[in-house]
Chain A
């Protein structure tokens, strides 16, 4: 397992675990900081072309559609080399946003990181 440098408050740490990259996101994500999230997700987190990008959202009480759009964009890039995007530990409002935007079937949503690594 190796750490990946991200250098942001929103994604303070990430780590490579085999062909997976796991990262925890912290804080609310909206129009003000979603460009920062984008810089990390479509930058260092997929640089190694992981088969699984696992984002732990347990510390994300709210995200807006710009954050969701960044994740869709990340998934577009992942798919180019056969990767998948896993979202784990979703809080209710985030889950609600994904449901209402009918995106809960585009991402792989799991209860926790362990499930994401085996699913």
Chain B
């Protein structure tokens, strides 16, 4: 049995009294790839932001790599953020720096490694994501997929033990998306990097996941292997996983009081 890398315990998060996450619990095992599924507004991005220490919960605790994120000083939180890698949807590159300098930045800022070593490290990271030939380009010269890959190279800069991906396939063509997925798989399998992926792209999710959880209206509906999810009889899981046009998700939308809203006489 592997150790737990991240423990989320009874976590609640609200925005303006609207409950986004409702007393949820989740364990992420060391070296597993966990995919968090959910539609827009399900709370999955909020959960990611909590796990990377970007925001704190209103209730509950989050232990990551053995540390309580809710009890950290700003300095401890900064140390924690150095031990993880995050690939944001946009890649989040600095537009005024070359791709090379974007990747080198965290190493230069947070370590005493000499520039000769940094130069080789950056080339290795860029080769990993297939961008070594584009090291001298500015972000504005890159396509969306290349920006995402550059963002991944930067997320990898400090050799993180845990990698978080926010919608890694969003906006990518199928081939680039499959390449990113393969990289996620390799990093996990060959280096044992604990991997948490937030996505609603099912093809990608099935390719990379060891385990999947489905978040709906701030609560986890189900957790299982890709096969268990694929074969689930739960109507909501079936609709989400198979992209069905009929089911609880669409029923809920239709029951939103459209008719009474239209026919109300107090216009």
- Name A's B-contacting residues (CB within 8 A): 30-31, 34-35, 38, 64-66, 68-70, 72-73, 93, 96-97, 99-103
Q: Given that A35-B113, A102-B127 are contacting pairs, would A69 and B192 also be in contact in the complex, using a CB cutoff of 8 Å?
A: no
Q: Is the CB of A101 within 8 A of B128?
A: yes
Q: Is the CB of B190 within 8 A of A97?
A: yes
- CB contacts (< 8 Å) of B127 on chain A: these are 101-102
Taking the complex as formed, is B114 at the interface, i.e. its CB lies under 8 A from any CB of chain A? Answer: yes
- CB contacts (< 8 Å) of A70 on chain B: these are 117
For window 128-186 of B, CB contacts with A under 8 Å fall at 128, 156, 158-159, 186
Q: Is the CB of A66 within 8 A of B190?
A: no
Q: Is the CB of B113 within 8 A of A101?
A: no
Cα–Cα, bound, A38→B115 (Å): 12
Question: What are 22 A-to-B residue pairs whose CB atoms are below 8 Å?
Answer: A30-B159, A31-B110, A31-B111, A31-B113, A31-B158, A65-B121, A65-B124, A66-B107, A66-B111, A68-B120, A68-B121, A69-B117, A69-B121, A70-B117, A72-B124, A93-B191, A96-B191, A100-B128, A100-B191, A101-B124, A101-B127, A102-B127
For window 63-121 of B, CB contacts with A under 8 Å fall at 107, 110-114, 116-118, 120-121
Consensus secondary structure, chain A interface:
helix
Cα–Cα, bound, A96→B128 (Å): 13
- CB contacts (< 8 Å) of A35 on chain B: these are 112-114, 117
Residue among A66, A72, A103 making CB contact with B159, cutoff 8 Å: A66
- CB contacts (< 8 Å) of A65 on chain B: these are 121, 124-125, 156, 159
Q: Is the CB of B191 within 8 A of A68?
A: no
Q: Given that A31-B111, A101-B127 are contacting pairs, would A66 and B121 also be in contact in the complex, using a CB cutoff of 8 Å?
A: yes
- CB contacts (< 8 Å) of B156 on chain A: these are 65
Taking the complex as formed, is B187 at the interface, i.e. its CB lies under 8 A from any CB of chain A? Answer: yes
Closest partner residue, chain A, to B121 (CB atom): A69
Q: Given that A100-B187, A101-B124 are contacting pairs, would A66 and B113 also be in contact in the complex, using a CB cutoff of 8 Å?
A: yes
Q: Is the CB of A31 within 8 A of B159?
A: yes
